[in-house]
Structures are given as structure tokens and as C-alpha cells.
Amino acid sequence: DQQVKQNSPSLSVQEGRISILNCDYTNSMFDYFLWYKKYPAEGPTFLISISSIKDKNEDGRFTVFLNKSAKHLSLHIVPSQPGDSAVYFCAASERSNTGKLIFGQGTTLQVKP
């Protein structure tokens, strides 16, 4: 039972354009959502997060949108840069004793110069 899904395994965009990565979830108890970025042979690094009480969070070129009614979140990167090329994981956390993360399968973003 995949509670967090990233249905697009890959995305290719031109440098300077917008990248939009999507994520769907099924568990209505999730109260915190995150995006992690992963380069080959490295661990994931935190990128941006959003609490379930908000619908938007912005940090520089990165914006995360949350649509709770649709159980959908998205990450917008504007403008996209070649250094943004990586695997992006959507993750969710349920308010609990552990804080464990439930991850999507990841989307490989390629930004072409």
C-alpha cells in the first residue's frame, strides 16, 4: 500500500523554465510534508517542507503547494538551473512518537542547459 506516490519517474526541462514535480498521498493523518533532493552516491538532503495547516511555502526558487482536499502536493522550481538535476523525493510524516518519514518513489529531474 503506497501511501505516498510520485507518478512521474522522470522530468526534463530547459534551463530557466519552471520545473513542477508532483506528489499524491492517501493518508489523511499526515501533518507534515517534505521534499528531499538526492544526488548520486549521496544521502538525501532536505529541501523544503510544509505543514498541513498551510497551503504554500516559499524558499527562494522553491515553492511547495499543498492541496489537502485533493491530497496532492507539488514542488515548483523557478527558474530551473542545471545544478537542480537530481532525484527529488516527496515525503510525509504523521504526528506520532517516531517522526518516521514515508517516501514516494522519487522523480529524476534533468535540467538541460
Which residues lie near other proteins (CB under 8 A)?
Answer: 4, 6, 9, 31-32, 34, 36, 41-46, 49, 89, 91, 93, 95-106
Taking the complex as a whole, how short is the minimal distance between the CB of residue 60 and other proteins, in angstroms? Answer: 17
Q: Which residue's CB is nearer to other proteins, number 60 or number 99? A: 99
Strands 62-67, 72-77: pairing is antiparallel
Rounded Cα distance between 106 and 70, Å, is: 20
Rounded Cα distance between 98 and 108, Å, is: 28
Contact 84, 75 (CB under 8 A): no
Q: Which residue's CB is nearer to other proteins, number 49 or number 57? A: 49
Q: Which residue's CB is nearer to other proteins, number 15 or number 101? A: 101
Taking the complex as a whole, how short is the minimal distance between the CB of residue 109 and other proteins, in angstroms? Answer: 15
Contact 101, 89 (CB under 8 A): no
